[in-house]
Amino acid sequence: MKTDIWMPVYVGDYLADTLHLSVAEHGAYFLLMLHYWRKGPLTGNMSRLLSITKIPTEKSAILVGILEEFFTYNKEENKWYHSRIESELGKADSRREASRVNGLKGGRPLGSTHNLDNLEKTQRITNSFSLGEPRNNPEHNRNHNLEKSSSPSPSPLPLTLERREKEILRKSQAEKDFETFYEAYPKHKGRKDALKAFTTLYSELPEIDELVVITKKFAKSDDCKKDNGQFIPYPATWLRKGMWDDEILEPAETEDERRRRIISAI
Residue 10: φ, ψ to 5°: -90, 100
- pLDDT digits over 32-45, tens only? 999 988 888 999 99
For the chain, how far is it from start to end, CA to CA, in angstroms? 51
Mean pLDDT of the region 14-18 = 87
Give the global pTM: 0.46
pLDDT surpassing 50 at residue 1: no
Contact 44, 160 (CB under 8 A): no
Contact 166, 93 (CB under 8 A): yes
Helix axes 60-70, 23-39, angle to 10 degrees: 60
Q: What pLDDT band is residue 191 in, cutting at 50, 70 and 90? A: very high
Higher-pLDDT residue of 168, 254: 168
Residue 208: φ, ψ to 5°: -60, -40
Q: What pLDDT band is residue 195 in, cutting at 50, 70 and 90? A: very high
Strands (E), 89-245: none
- pLDDT digits over 206-235, tens only? 889 999 999 999 988 887 887 777 889 999
Query: Residues with Cβ < 8 Å from 172, sequence gap 6 or more?
Result: 2
Per DSSP, 109 falls in state P
Strands (E), 64-171: 72-74, 79-81
CA–CA separation, 87 and 100 (whole Å): 20
Contact 11, 49 (CB under 8 A): no
Residue ranges of domains in the chain: 1-157, 161-245
Sign, CA dihedral 207-210-214-220, equals: positive
